[in-house]
């Protein structure tokens, strides 16, 4: 199954909020015909209405893919609109946090291939990363198709087990919020040292974005990048002395942060 088959058989998108819109924009930019996409969205944006997709109309009988992009708390109300697509002819892909594979298997019935995915918000600018895992019915072709669709908004990695999604949620799913807070904290610290708020925020935002780009584009071990910036007895070493404190430093704080997010993901998965 390839993207040309998606164009021929159709794709159903349940929910077109921020993440659904990012995916749809990526697919259209890659040449997927708007008429091949059927969107179920009770509150469509002006942008969505202008894309030319089939919006809130009867669904095709056996589309290639049905992608679930609604919030978990809306799942019970929204999912019945597409459960008729179960049984095996349509690949179901979910980007809903905290909803396990077994829930979709129960909703769509036996024989339905399901791929569960965890993207993150940088998908909005094509810089996201998504982790995927399939159920027993999901073949290599199904996984490759899901990977192709999700790569429209960034990188895609495959997991070995569904249980790993909780850790993924704690690291990359929730991770952008940690980075945004780092920008806030760095800007506030600059203000405390006498910088104007606008200047301090600009310095903090661009420093974090630039450092991330350097790490991403060079592929260099971040520990080596840190060492490259750190002169003996210099200013960076003085700052890192605080951040790298073994008892109360950033490493310990981030471990507790990721554990808290992963634990909450586990709770949501248990229902």
Report the distance separating Cα 259 and Cα 74, nearest Å.
Answer: 26
Report the distance separating Cα 69 and Cα 82, nearest Å.
Answer: 12
Residue set of the binding site for NADPH = 56
Would you list the DSSP string of 152-217? GGEEEEE-S-TTHHHHHIIIIISHHHHHHHHHHHHHHHHHHTT--HHHHHHHHHHHHHHHHHHHHH
Report the distance separating Cα 171 and Cα 57, nearest Å.
Answer: 38
What distance separates the 2 farthest-apart alpha carbons in the chain? Answer: 68
Would you list the DSSP string of 70-96? S-GGGHHHHGGGTGGGTTTTSEEEE--
Residue set of the binding site for NADP(+) = 14-19, 69-72
SS3 2: coil
Residue set of the binding site = 14-19, 56, 69-72
Cα angle 227, 231, 237 (rounded to 5 degrees) comes to 80
Report the distance separating Cα 38 and Cα 35, nearest Å.
Answer: 7
DSSP 8-class letter at 61: S
Give phi and psi for 50, each to the nearest 5.
-95, 0
Place of tokens 């070493």: 237
């Amino acid at each position: 199954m390839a993207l040309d088959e998606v164009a021929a058989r159709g794709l159903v998108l349940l929910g077109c909020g921020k993440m659904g819109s990012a995916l749809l924009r990526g697919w259209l930019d890659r040449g997927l015909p708007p008429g091949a996409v059927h969107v179920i969205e009770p509150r469509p944006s002006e942008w969505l209405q202008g894309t030319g997709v089939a919006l809130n109309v009867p669904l095709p009988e056996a589309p290639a893919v049905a992608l679930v992009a609604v919030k978990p708390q809306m799942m019970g109300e929204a999912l019945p609109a597409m459960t008729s697509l179960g049984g095996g002819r349509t690949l179901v892909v979910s980007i809903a946090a905290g909803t396990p594979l077994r829930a979709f298997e129960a909703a769509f019935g036996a024989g339905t291939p399901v791929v569960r995915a965890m993207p993150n918000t940088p998908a909005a600018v094509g810089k996201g990363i998504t982790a995927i895992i399939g159920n027993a019915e999901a073949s290599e072709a199904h996984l490759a198709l899901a990977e192709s669709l999700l790569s429209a908004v960034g990188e895609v990695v495959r997991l070995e087990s569904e249980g790993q999604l909780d850790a993924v949620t704690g690291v990359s799913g929730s991770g952008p919020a940690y980075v945004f807070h780092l920008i806030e904290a760095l800007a506030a610290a600059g203000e405390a040292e006498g910088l104007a708020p606008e200047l301090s925020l600009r310095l903090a935002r661009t420093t974090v974005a630039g450092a991330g780009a350097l790490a991403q584009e060079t592929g260099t071990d971040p520990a080596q990048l840190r060492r490259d910036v750190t002169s003996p007895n210099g200013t960076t070493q003085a700052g890192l002395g605080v951040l790298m404190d073994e008892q109360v430093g950033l490493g310990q704080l981030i471990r507790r942060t990721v554990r808290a997010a992963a634990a909450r993901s586990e709770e949501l998965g248990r229902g």
